Amino acid sequence: MSVIMETQGVYKAFGGLMALNQVDVKIEEGKISGLIGPNGAGKTTLFNVLSGFITPDRGRVLFKNRDICGEDPYKIVHLGLARSWQGLRLFEHLTVLENVAMSLPRGKEEGALKIILGSWVKNRRKVQRATEILELVQIKSRAQVPVKELSYAEQKLVAIARLLATEAEVLLLDEPTSGLDEKTVNLVIAPLLKELVAQRGKTICLVEHSIKLVFNMCDWVFCLNEGQIAASGRPQELRQDEELNRVFFQTI
Amino acid sequence: MDYLLHIVIIILINIILTVSFNILLGYTGIFALCHAAFYGIGAYTATLLMKNLGLPFFPALACAVGVTVLCSLIVALPGLRIHWDYMVIFAFSFQMVVYHLMINWVELTRGPQGIAGIPPVTILGFTFDSKISFLLFSLIVTLAVVYLVKRIESSAFGLVLKGIKDDEIAVKSVGKPVTAYKITSFAIAAGLAAVAGGFIAVYISYISPGYFDLHTSIFILICLIFGGMGSIRGAIVGTVVLTALPELLRFIPYLPSTMMGGIRDLIYATILILFMLYRPQGIVGKASR
């Protein structure tokens, strides 16, 4: 497998706080990578840098061998990289279906006039695609419900559905299981993420606090601490590192 | 009877203003208190083209829409890149600048005196110079504008605008160019306000800066808050009630006409405060959505 995305010597400081310090990560295509670390380690800042919402002070972010530093976030989505948010950031006044349909890319047949004046509900391709995605994340039955009326677990699923609707190949998931019970994680989220990679050709990078989940799901893990990569490797290798277990994993 | 027809025509023209302002404030969440400026630019452009160049109404109106859309870019291009609070002040300043240009650029606008003798609309030899014919004409145009806005509301574009109102950053993160969407919604709203401007000019056959001042922008805002932001029905209900309501003051005995303007403003201010406090979703809007 090849590297689809990497950062090279990324620095980012906020005033006197060094949020990211010489961060080098390589995300392999078709794999699940995990990013773990204590609160304030710089995980979300790294996601913001990768997705274009923050420009690093120094360093490069390469996506498919193209430097995407300084690109507009929406253009990065068009290139094939999309992210979810820790705080979900769903369109609360829209229905589940609307949230997903809105996030679908513009079709080749859609001119500006059709976008502005054509009814999206009558766009069969859009509705069908959005419905398929809702079916995949097992929330189709709630399609017509406004998002703000859903439970937190259902909203998490909508966030994943919306991310899939962008049709990006690389998905950055910021704490996809936080706040969910173990049953939902094991029966819904974990199998779904595995299916996305195994059967739908997606590449996933996720930020998680659950070490157990990361070790069970990820092919490669990056341990971030105080803005630096403290360690990285396959889960089984990291698990056997006693020093890392004692100093790092106990603090998360 | 003529008086009643006059009120209905004014209501129809005001509906164009509020449903177009609804695209900006109701759907996209852009608070730009300069809609009357676009209304005025449309009215003056159409008037000057008809009076000075002798253009027929529709070509003049099309040019007025074009000029107003270009002017809207003056506000939208820099304004939509700055923070929300500054955008509010920026749009407010634009309203004031346009109003003072109308008053002080006397060679072009004839200043506070205004421009009189605007020719009526003539189509295929038929002149819309009676109240009833103009009412039918403006009804057709208003229905067309409402239909257009309805189409925008249910389009993919409208969906993104509603998303922008909810969470702009989230819209960027699903690959939509937020600034381009906002500029387009601004341009459409301004263009439709220009249509209303062209209509008021040929209807009254006279325009002056007073029609297009900050009061008018605030009136449009209050109609929308009263009826319900983000709803076409709300915009229409708000406009009908608040355009007709002050007319009832005329029938209050012994009320000096000099006080009517003040009382009207008092009513509007009271409505604004009460609705913002107790029913921010307006008359038509639902509390939960």
B80-126 pLDDT, tens digit per residue, is 778 878 899 999 999 999 999 999 999 999 999 999 999 999 999 99
b/e B114-142 (16+ beta carbons within 10 angstroms → b): bbeebbebeeeeeebeebeebbebbeebb
State the pLDDT confidence band at B289, using cuts at 50, 70 and 90.
very low
Taking the CA atoms of B261, B265, B268 and B274 in sequence, report the sign of the dihedral they define. negative
Residues in chain A with CB shorter than 8 Å from the CB of B165 are: 93
CA–CA min distance B4, chain A (Å): 35
B175: contact with A, CB 8 A cutoff: yes
Tokens representing residue A142 in the block: 């709630």
Burial class (CB in 10 A: 0-12, 13-18, 19+), A108: exposed
Mean pLDDT across the stretch B225-249? 93
* Number of other residues whose CB lies within 10 A of the CB of residue A72: 16
A80: contact with B, CB 8 A cutoff: no
State the pLDDT confidence band at B224, using cuts at 50, 70 and 90.
very high
CA–CA min distance A214, chain B (Å): 24
- Residue tagged 């387009």 (tokens): B184
What chain B residue is nearest to A99 in terms of C-alpha separation? Answer: B163
pLDDT of residue A1: 64
3-state secondary structure A179-248: CCCHHHHHHHHHHHHHHHHHHHCCEEEEECCCHHHHHHHCCEEEEEECCEEEEEECHHHHHHCHHHHHHC
pLDDT of residue B286: 65
Mean pLDDT across the stretch B55-60? 97
> Which are the contacts of B260, defined by CB distance < 8 A and separation ≥ 6?
B246, B249, B250
Task: Name the residue facing A121 among B154, B172, B188 (closest C-beta).
Answer: B154
State the pLDDT confidence band at B263, using cuts at 50, 70 and 90.
confident
CA distance B258 to B115: 25
Considering only CA atoms, give the Rg of chain B: 19
Residues in chain B with CB shorter than 8 Å from the CB of A89 are: 167, 169-170, 173
Mutate to test the interface with B, among A71, A74, A149, A150 (most CBs of B within 10 A): A74
- Residue tagged 């590192």 (tokens): A241
Mean pLDDT across the stretch B217-244? 95
B27-50 pLDDT, tens digit per residue, is 999 999 999 999 999 999 999 999
- Residue tagged 């630096």 (tokens): A228
pLDDT of residue B287: 54
Is the per-residue pLDDT at B288 higher than 50? no
Is the per-residue pLDDT at B284 higher than 90? no
Tokens representing residue B187 in the block: 């341009």
Residues 94-153 of A with CB under 8 A from B: 94, 98, 101-103, 105-106, 110, 115-121, 123, 126, 146
Q: Which residues of chain A have pLDDT under 70?
A: 1, 247, 251-252
B146-201 pLDDT, tens digit per residue, is 999 999 999 999 999 999 999 999 999 999 999 999 999 999 999 999 999 999 99
B180: contact with A, CB 8 A cutoff: no
CA distance A176 to A185: 9
